[in-house]
């Protein structure tokens, strides 16, 4: 039976996300296709170009491989190569092609080598990486600057049964062709050759070989060793902090409740006509603490989208823990994130509309539109700028028109309708707010607050403590996303994510209590901003990482880094602001339910 038209984009996206690896089965002598993919500066991971943009051996008719959505999002543009590789058949110094490079082509290669360009090939879904050329700087006086082009590549492949298990490319024991002595308009003759060496392996897991080395054979650095010690240290500090806050706060709160309830019994027996007279602290504002805030629709939209990203982040980590992401599958996490974002749009619509109706909102259609555009509008604006820069520079990171239309269709036919459907269910299932205290018509005057209870101080404290809980792991995440690492410690990531949410909730409760103790009942937006400001600290850390911990440079990489780092900080603001708000709301309901009042 054909899928419903509404589900067609979802079915196609599921196929793109879960497309099986192109691992093949071969008999001896069968052709094993090697695809050329991309090149780019080693220190700029997101600045990539098509391999055939360099003056290299290329077929007359370039045929591209059909790619999955994740591969396209990852900047892959695979095309068939001229290398002839046959299963289990060795080749020794076979000529690939002979070229005569013009001075302009030589200068293009020199520039690429000086910028540490690396190339990426793919054989049977296994990546092979190496540098385009060789550069040597030596001496001060006299100074020597040598540049050479690797014209011979050694391919080493390992097989088990009828499968390719491991693939690597190297330039060992090969002398590069010098590009230093090119003078005048005469072309430079270059001959490209290659060798293929097959060996049998007992390993059955693809991408691994004897000795435990990965598929890229150490081309990218392997500094992501198990960093349990630093994580355990961070966890101990966080647990001590959370325990300290909880114990102190519960003792103070217990004393407050005992004192306030004792005062209430005394006042009821002494016919006092003014309930508030002689009182202070959070009890005195019980008639204002549940007064609804300004900009209700925006607050509910923040809570809805924040809940969606909490579900999205949890889903991604759980999928990673279940082993659904293969490090050799290009862009698998990107594809899964797009799919989960589309499916979790119903969460944002439901939470936003449900809470909006509870606090007396009437313009629910406007609330749904605000919810669906709260993240998608900034994301589209950022992506437009970044994609335009990539397109202007000819980078493969610029998305093709067909991919853009596919993603837009998925959002229009899956994401937006699910937001509306979730909003309808949330509106219809919303009950009364059911505040434990009645709210007076006239708002109470708020006394002057000391500087340490200001919004800025609360944002500084509420943002720094959750950030400190994840600062160790944040480096490894940045090194993976913006560097050359392969992150596989998803168990640690799950614990750090849980710690982040716990610290955000606990610090929000503590700051909300201190705010109410100062007779300031404007806690609604303050609770969102307190822990939500962690996103600002994450963005500041990204600035530090760019300038001090990376070698990224150039307009293309810089625009992408800061554009998406800004979006990342915004997402953390939404997530932690949501956790912070609902933790504060639960806490306030608890203390006022347990307070004896007339």
pLDDT over 60 at 273, yes or no: no
**Residue 570 DSSP SS3:** helix
Long-range pairs, 586-590, Cβ under 8 A, ≥24 = 587/509, 587/512, 587/513, 588/289, 588/290, 588/512, 588/516, 588/523, 589/435, 589/436
Per-residue model confidence as pLDDT tens digits over 14-44: 444 444 445 678 999 999 999 999 999 999 9
Max mean pLDDT among 124-138, 139-153, 240-254 falls in 124-138
pLDDT over 50 at 381, yes or no: yes
Lowest mean pLDDT among 269-278, 335-344, 467-476, 572-581: 269-278
Of 196, 222, 305, 105, nearest in space to 484 by CA: 222
Q: What is the pLDDT of residue 6?
A: 44
Per-residue model confidence as pLDDT tens digits over 508-548: 998 998 898 888 888 999 999 999 999 999 999 999 999 99
Q: What is the pLDDT of residue 596?
A: 59
Q: What is the pLDDT of residue 531?
A: 93
Q: What is the mean pLDDT of residues 85-107?
A: 92
Q: What is the pLDDT of residue 268?
A: 54
Q: What is the pLDDT of residue 99?
A: 92
- Spatial separation of the C-alpha atoms in residues 564 and 540, rounded to whole Å: 13
Q: What is the mean pLDDT of residues 67-91?
A: 92
Q: What is the mean pLDDT of residues 338-349?
A: 95
Asked if 428 contacts 109 with a C-beta cutoff of 8 angstroms, the reply is no
In percent, the amount of the chain with pLDDT more than 70 equals: 85
pLDDT over 70 at 279, yes or no: no
- Spatial separation of the C-alpha atoms in residues 200 and 88, rounded to whole Å: 9
- Enter the DSSP assignment of 86: B
Q: What is the mean pLDDT of residues 490-515?
A: 89
Res. 349 pLDDT band, cuts 50 70 90? very high
> What's the residue count for the chain?
598
Q: What is the pLDDT of residue 31?
A: 93
- Spatial separation of the C-alpha atoms in residues 158 and 154, rounded to whole Å: 13
How high does pLDDT run on average in the chain? 85
Q: What is the pLDDT of residue 272?
A: 43
Res. 275 pLDDT band, cuts 50 70 90? very low
Report the predicted TM-score, pTM, of the whole model to 2 decimal places: 0.87
In percent, the amount of the chain with pLDDT more than 90 equals: 52
pLDDT over 70 at 269, yes or no: no
- Spatial separation of the C-alpha atoms in residues 260 and 232, rounded to whole Å: 41
Asked if 538 contacts 273 with a C-beta cutoff of 8 angstroms, the reply is no
Per-residue model confidence as pLDDT tens digits over 315-330: 999 999 988 886 656 5
pLDDT over 80 at 375, yes or no: yes
Q: What is the pLDDT of residue 10?
A: 46
Q: What is the pLDDT of residue 397?
A: 93
Res. 344 pLDDT band, cuts 50 70 90? very high
**Residue 573 DSSP SS3:** helix
Q: What is the pLDDT of residue 142?
A: 65
Handedness of CA 520, 524, 530, 531 (dihedral sign): positive
More confident residue, 10 or 164: 164
Res. 224 pLDDT band, cuts 50 70 90? very low
């Amino acid at each position: 039976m054909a899928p419903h038209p509404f589900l067609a984009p979802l079915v196609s996206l599921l196929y793109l996300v879960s497309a099986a690896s192109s691992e093949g089965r071969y008999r001896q002598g069968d052709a094993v296709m090697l695809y050329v993919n991309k090149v780019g500066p080693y220190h700029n991971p997101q600045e990539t170009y098509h391999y055939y943009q360099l003056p290299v051996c290329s077929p007359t008719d370039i045929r591209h491989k059909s790619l999955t959505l994740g591969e396209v999002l990852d900047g892959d543009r695979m095309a068939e190569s001229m290398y002839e590789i046959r299963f289990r058949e060795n080749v020794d110094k076979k000529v690939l092609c002979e070229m005569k490079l013009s001075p302009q082509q030589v200068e293009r290669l020199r520039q690429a080598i000086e910028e540490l360009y690396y190339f990426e090939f793919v054989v049977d879904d296994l990546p092979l990486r190496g540098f385009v050329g060789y550069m040597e700087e030596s001496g001060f006086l006299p100074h020597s600057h040598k540049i050479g082009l690797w014209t011979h590549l050694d391919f080493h492949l390992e097989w088990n049964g009828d499968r390719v298990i491991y693939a690597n490319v190297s330039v060992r024991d090969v002398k590069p062709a010098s590009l230093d002595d090119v003078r005048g308009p005469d072309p430079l003759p270059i001959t490209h050759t290659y060798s293929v060496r097959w060996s049998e392996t007992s390993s059955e897991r693809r991408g691994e070989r004897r000795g435990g080395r990965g598929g890229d054979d150490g081309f990218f650095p392997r500094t992501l060793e198990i960093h349990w010690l630093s994580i355990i240290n961070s966890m101990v500090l966080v647990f001590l902090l959370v325990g300290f806050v909880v114990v102190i706060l519960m003792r103070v709160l217990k004393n407050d409740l005992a004192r306030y309830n004792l005062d209430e019994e005394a006042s009821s027996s002494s016919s006092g006509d003014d309930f508030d007279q002689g009182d202070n602290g959070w009890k005195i504002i019980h008639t204002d603490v549940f007064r609804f805030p300004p900009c209700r629709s925006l607050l509910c939209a923040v809570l809805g989208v924040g809940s969606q990203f909490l579900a999205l982040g949890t889903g991604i980590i759980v999928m990673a823990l279940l082993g659904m992401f293969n490090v050799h599958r290009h862009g698998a996490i990107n594809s899964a994130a797009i799919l989960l974002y589309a499916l979790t749009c119903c969460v944002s619509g439901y939470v936003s509309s449900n809470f909006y109706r509870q606090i007396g909102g009437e313009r629910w259609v406007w609330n749904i539109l605000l919810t669906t555009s709260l993240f998608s509008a900034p994301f589209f604006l950022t992506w437009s700028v970044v994609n335009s820069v990539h397109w202007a520079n000819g980078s493969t990171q610029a998305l093709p028109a067909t991919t853009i239309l596919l993603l837009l269709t998925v959002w229009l036919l899956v994401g937006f309708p699910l937001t509306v459907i979730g909003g309808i269910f949330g509106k219809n299932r919303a009950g009364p707010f059911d505040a434990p205290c009645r709210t007076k018509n006239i708002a109470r005057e708020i006394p002057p607050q000391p500087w340490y209870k200001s919004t800025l101080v609360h944002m500084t404290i509420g943002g720094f403590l959750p950030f400190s809980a994840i600062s160790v792991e944040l480096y490894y995440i940045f090194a993976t996303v913006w560097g050359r690492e392969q992150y596989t410690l998803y168990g640690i990531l799950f614990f750090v994510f849980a710690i982040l949410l716990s610290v955000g909730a606990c610090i929000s409760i503590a700051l909300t209590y201190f705010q109410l103790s100062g007779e300031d009942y404007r806690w609604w937006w303050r609770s969102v901003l307190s822990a939500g400001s962690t996103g600002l600290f994450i963005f500041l850390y990204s600035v530090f990482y760019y300038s001090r911990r990376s070698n990224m440079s150039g307009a293309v990489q810089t625009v992408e880094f800061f554009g998406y780092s800004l979006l990342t900080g915004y997402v953390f603001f939404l997530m932690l602001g949501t956790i912070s708000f609902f933790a504060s709301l639960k806490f306030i309901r608890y203390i006022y339910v347990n307070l004896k009042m007339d």
